[in-house]
Amino acid sequence: MKLKVLSWNIWKGQHLDKIIEVLEKESADIIGLQEIKVQDGTNIAEIIAEKLGYDFVYCKAYTTDRHTPPYDLGNAVLSKFSITENECILLSTLEDYKKEEAAMTEPRGACIAKININGGEITFISTHLAFSLECKPVAIREIQLNTLLKVIDKKNTVLMGDFNSVPESDVVRKLSEKLINTDPEMKELSWINYRDPNKTKYRIDYIFTTPDLKAENFQIVETDASDHYPLLIDLEVCTQNN
C-alpha cells in the first residue's frame, strides 16, 4: 500500500486557519510538523489533530525566554493510524544554550512515533535543527546531528523536518550517507526569509528514509501559510496483507 507523508515547519501556527486548510486539502496519512507552539495550555498540534481527525504525539524542545509571555516550542507527528509508541529526544540542551546567540543555540529535539500500519511497524521522526544566519554551519547543529544519527533505526524509518542546512552542507551529506534522500536533486526551495526585503530563499527542509523503504512523487507545495513550504512524498509500505 502507499502512504502519503507530509513534513512542514508551520512557523508557530501564526496562520493556523490557512495551515489547517492546506493540511485538509493534502490529506496526508502521516504528518511531521515543526515549530509547534504551546502556550497557556493550548497546543497547536492538538488543535490541528482534533480538527482533522488524526492521532498525534508532541515533543517539547524548550521554553523560550526571548518572548513575553514565554511559550514552549517542539515537534509533532500526526497520523491517520494509531501511534503505538512514542519517544522524545533532546538533541541539544540548556547547557549548550547561550541567550545572546538566540535561535542559533536553542535546545532542539526530535519527536519519534512508531505506527502500526496493517501489521507492519514504521518509525516516523519529526525534527528541527539549529538556525543560523544564511544557513551557515554552526557547531551546535553538528552536536544535534550526531545525537540524531544515533537514534535512527536501520530499517522502516522516515526522518523529516527542518534541518536548517543547505544541500551542499555536511548535515545533508552525512544524512545522505546513512539514509535515502527522497529528493536527491534538491533544486526546489523550501524557506522564504520574510525578514529579508528580497525574500531570500533556501532549501533547508528534507525527507529521508532508510534504504528498505521506497519513496516516490516528491513535491513541494507553495503556500503563504508559513515561511516554509510543506514537503510531500508517497511511501510504498510492505504489510502482512501484501
Report the CATH number that the domain containing residue 169 is assigned in CATH. 3.60.10.10
Spatial distance between the Cα atoms of 238 and 242, rounded to a whole number of angstroms: 6
- Total structural domains within the chain: 1
213-219: average pLDDT: 97
**C-beta of residue 75 within 8 angstroms of C-beta of residue 205:** no
- Has residue 25 been placed in a domain? yes
| Domain presence at residue 159 | yes
- How far is the C-alpha of 113 from the C-alpha of 185, rounded, in Å? 28
* Mean pLDDT to the nearest integer, 232-237: 95
> For residue 90, what pLDDT band results from cuts at 50, 70 and 90?
very high
Q: Note whether 172 and 139 are within 8 A (CB).
A: no
Domain membership of residue 172 as a residue range: 2-236
Residue 156 · residue 122 · CB < 8 Å: yes
Residue 195: band (very low, low, confident or very high) from pLDDT cuts 50, 70, 90: confident
d(C-alpha 128, C-alpha 75), whole Å = 7
Whole-structure pTM value: 0.96
Query: What is the percent of the chain with per-residue pLDDT over 70, rounded to a whole number?
Result: 97
| Integer Rg of the chain from CA | 17
Q: Confirm whether 241 is domain-assigned.
A: no
Residue 84 lies in a domain: yes
Within 10 A of 217 (CB to CB), how many other CB atoms are there?
A: 11
Average pLDDT on 10-17 reads: 97
- Answer whether residue 242 shows pLDDT above 50: no
pLDDT band at 240; cut points 50, 70, 90? low
Residue at 205 is within a domain = yes
Within-domain flag for 242: no
Q: Which residue has the cell 533532546?
A: 90
3-state helix, strand, coil in the chain (%, to 5): 25, 40, 40
C-alpha 44/C-alpha 207 separation (Å) is 22
In this predicted structure, what is the pLDDT of residue 100? 67
- In 10 A of CB 128, how many CB atoms? 27
Of 37-46, 161-170, 187-196, the one with minimum mean pLDDT is 187-196
Domain membership of residue 229 (yes or no) is yes
Are 128 and 108 in contact by the 8 Å Cβ rule? The answer is: yes
- Looking at the DSSP bridge assignments, the partners of residue 86 are 113
Contact 147, 159 (CB under 8 A): no
User: Looking at the domain assignment, is residue 200 inside a domain?
Assistant: yes
Name the 3-class secondary structure at 192.
Answer: strand
Give the chain's mean pLDDT. 94
Predicted confidence band at 98 (pLDDT cuts at 50, 70, 90)? confident
Q: Is 139 exposed, middle or buried (0-12, 13-18, 19+ CB in 10 A)?
A: exposed
- Identify the helix (H) or strand (E) that includes residue 95: none
